[in-house]
Structure 1
Amino acid sequence: MNHDAPAGQDAAREERLRRWRLVLGASGGSDGTGHELDGTDADMDRTLQALYGSHSGAGGAGGEKGAGRGARRTAGLGGSAPQVARWLGDIRTYFPSSVVQVMQRDAIERLGLSALLLEPETLAALESDVHLVGTLLSLTKAMPETSKETARVVVRKVVEELERKLAARTRVTLIGALDRSAKLHRPRHRDIDWDRTIRANLRNYLPEHRTIVPERLIGYGRASRAVKKEVVLCVDQSGSMAASVVHASVFGAVLASMRSIDTRLVVFDTSVVDLTDALDDPVDVLFGVQLGGGTDINRALAYCQTRISRPSETVLVLISDLCEGGIRGEMLKRVAQLTEAGVRFVTLLALSDEGAPAYDREHAGALAALGVPAFACTPDHFPEVMAAAIEKRPLPMPDT
């Protein structure tokens, strides 16, 4: 007979009640679980209570979604900077980084605490991530100089982490693509691309000798001999594109560090700003961005068009949700002109881990009709997309 089963079942039941108690919160024990918290659990509950409070599901903030589900947590965090800074420290103590980032976003977005991000004390206590950087960048106009220095530290931490994650793979992938795209027709033996050479000489197959006569040799060019490629990153800086702007600035800096690529970074809303001169430091790039405002893709493309000197050696990457506020017909006409001139045009609806945002499907369809499909791209996938664009082969679009 197994005497351990009842004890195990009781422990599992207690754990379920504990978790429900933390999820639901309580006001005077009204959560219905009958489970009392103590020690670390009680401290954890207080940090949740400070942000979400507790309220019955039938009304109040968040009540509509919670109707019929019993008690649930809703907003109730106080607004003083020291109190918020202490709370930020507490949640980092009790929760993993991924949960901390979600709770920070809830505090900022749902409770209107953006003003507190202007306080150095609050900034220093934050868990840094791409979304926080986007929020900080949207506040730079209102940020005092003392807070701006702290904000730069937060932004630099995120940027350096992204560079460590993305830079090496990007360089390796693109160097390979650049080598393959610089074909030589009289290569030295060690530079011969045998796969391409065989395909190019299949008509010279001699059946009696079971061999191919390689009348035309195709090889890889060395990077020093190859024609430099031009890459233009044209990035929508409207508020919904914040994460894409952060990733684009990091990739822009990585590409600019490669001698075989001339890189230009252009950001736009209804105006156009060329941030190419700041590419040696992506943090400077980000603090040159002004998130928000409208969108004039046509104007941005017109500017980029004037800066392209070798269309057949250029890749232009438009990163935008395509919610055009400019002249739609002129935008499409300009895309057609660029592609007809030989520019490899790539449209990314987002460059982030979140997938495709809300975007203008009509404009996306019109671009696809011009041979320029629009799709969302994760940072991990971006090097492969760029490699395909440089080699002028089909883009590896994610499954949709």
Structure 2
Amino acid sequence: MSSEETLRRWRLILGRYAAQPLSQTQFSAGDWKLDQALEYLYGREYEGRGLARPSGGPGSLDPSQLRAVDWLNRSRSLFPQEVFERMQTQAIDRYQLTDLLSDPAVLRSLDATPGLAKALLGMRGRLSGQMRDAVREVIQKTVDEITRKLRNDFVNALVGRRNRMRRSHIKSAQNFDARATIAANLKHYDVERKQIVIEHPRFNARVKRNLPWDVVLCVDQSGSMMDSVIYSAVIAGIMSSLPAVRVKLVVFDTSVVDLTHLAHDPVEVLLTVQLGGGTDIGRAVAYCESLVGNPQRTVFALISDFMEGAAPGPLLAAVQRMAQSRVKLLGLAALDESANPVYDRQMAQRLADKGMHVAALTPTHFAQWLAEVMN
């Protein structure tokens, strides 16, 4: 990287607080737009620390010159999608751009992402009734998108994989066999239209699995667990729709709340959870132990960072009792936004010593793990 490019990048990082602001000849028109968008949002970091925002200068952008909605629309076109989504979330969660939360139409125009859902859920108690309806719609869009990405993995893992050696008369998109369909219909190729006319689509059968299992999801809802809570709610919703899998959903901090009656509705679950407070894992695990009816056909999944706030004795004792009764015990460690594990490794080891299998997995791999345990 040239020294000029290095200087340009540092200037974009430091904004107007740089000791030597770059001139118009060193910054392109595109760079000035990037600088303005970054300054509008991240200049607030310095203000929050008691530093006055510098004024003036080439390409300066005082807050009065741009509304939050305008900044949002400009930034969407200036930055890659992943970068924009992070900035959008930080604008609401970290810098409290209230203009984005005062107009339902603007809120509905935001890109629905887990990060945005996380930010909105954290402040939903401060919103008007009209805005709460808009928040619900954004959460619904986020849940629908995550479900779309995860559902096939869970269905294939827990219900059965496609059996390419057998054909099925059940015309399901999930069972559609594209290669066999093309091969069977090549003789119907329309030369003029340059298309294959599909007269006989082919579908695969599925390997059926008998899974009369109870799955107890015990989800830590302390403040640091929001990402895991969102995915856990979606997973509970997907599994609730599967045959022969009975889902029980329990969330906890220092209190324990049984949301089994809402497990089929991830949006309602997310709008119900109360993030924050301490963590009493032992109390939650003891409650879940009371839900076990058929130990040998029960999977207990503890989704937590394992940072126990209470004395560890009750937690370890409950885990040991369930292990001895042959409950399948899974400990799913919390992951951050970058899918990096964040959990108390010492407590995880103590749980493993009592019979719990502990891993840090993405939701897709969790589906595969569940399927392996149930086989």
Deviation at 1:62, TM superposition (A): 11
Deviation at 1:231, TM superposition (A): 0.5
1:144 alignment counterpart? 128
Structure 1 Cα separation of the partners of residues 350 and 136 of structure 2: 40
1:168 alignment counterpart? 152
Q: How does 1:44-55 map to 2 (within 5 A)?
A: 44-53=34-43
Deviations 1:223-248 (A, max 9, x none): 4xx36111011000011110100001
2:371 alignment counterpart? 387
1:111 alignment counterpart? 95
Q: Contact 1:166–1:380 (CA<8 Å) still a contact in 2?
A: yes
SS at match of 1:309: coil
**1:43 partnered with 2:33:** yes
In structure 2, relative to structure 1, the CA distance for the partners of 1:232 and 1:78 (3 Å cut) is: farther
Q: How does 1:248-397 map to 2 (within 5 A)?
A: 248-350=232-334, 354-391=338-375
Deviations 1:24-61 (A, max 9, x none): 434799235774445444333211121223999xxx95
SS at match of 1:111: coil
Deviation at 1:85, TM superposition (A): 2.4
2:79 alignment counterpart? 95
- Structure 2: which 5+ runs fail to align? 52-60, 164-205
Q: Which of 157, 160, 166 lines up with 2:141 in the alignment? A: 157
Structure 1 Cα separation of the partners of residues 12 and 223 of structure 2: 34
Structure 1 Cα separation of the partners of residues 111 and 250 of structure 2: 29
Q: Which amino acid aligns with 1:53?
A: G
Q: Contact 1:26–1:54 (CA<8 Å) still a contact in 2?
A: no
Q: Contact 1:253–1:280 (CA<8 Å) still a contact in 2?
A: yes
Structure 1 Cα separation of the partners of residues 62 and 359 of structure 2: 39
Structure 2 Cα separation of the partners of residues 383 and 236 of structure 1: 19
- Structure 1: which 5+ runs fail to align? 1-8, 64-75, 180-219, 392-400
Q: Contact 2:68–2:99 (CA<8 Å) still a contact in 1?
A: no
Structure 1 Cα separation of the partners of residues 336 and 39 of structure 2: 32
Deviations 1:310-346 (A, max 9, x none): 1100001000111112331011000001111111000
Q: Contact 2:11–2:18 (CA<8 Å) still a contact in 1?
A: no
Q: Which amino acid aligns with 2:35?
A: D
Structure 1 Cα separation of the partners of residues 358 and 25 of structure 2: 52
State the TM-score, normalizing by the size of structure 2. Answer: 0.75
In structure 2, relative to structure 1, the CA distance for the partners of 1:125 and 1:294 (3 Å cut) is: same
Structure 1 Cα separation of the partners of residues 335 and 3 of structure 2: 44
Identity between Structure 1 and Structure 2 (%): 39
Q: Contact 2:160–2:207 (CA<8 Å) still a contact in 1?
A: no
Structure 2 Cα separation of the partners of residues 161 and 327 of structure 1: 39
SS at match of 1:265: strand
Q: RMSD of aligned C-alpha atoms?
A: 3.5
State the TM-score, normalizing by the size of structure 1. Answer: 0.71
Structure 2 Cα separation of the partners of residues 125 and 231 of structure 1: 37
**1:228 partnered with 2:218:** no
Q: Which of 134, 137, 146 lines up with 2:118 in the alignment? A: 134
1:25 alignment counterpart? 15
Deviations 1:271-314 (A, max 9, x none): 11121212222111111111111111112112211111111000
Larger Rg: 1
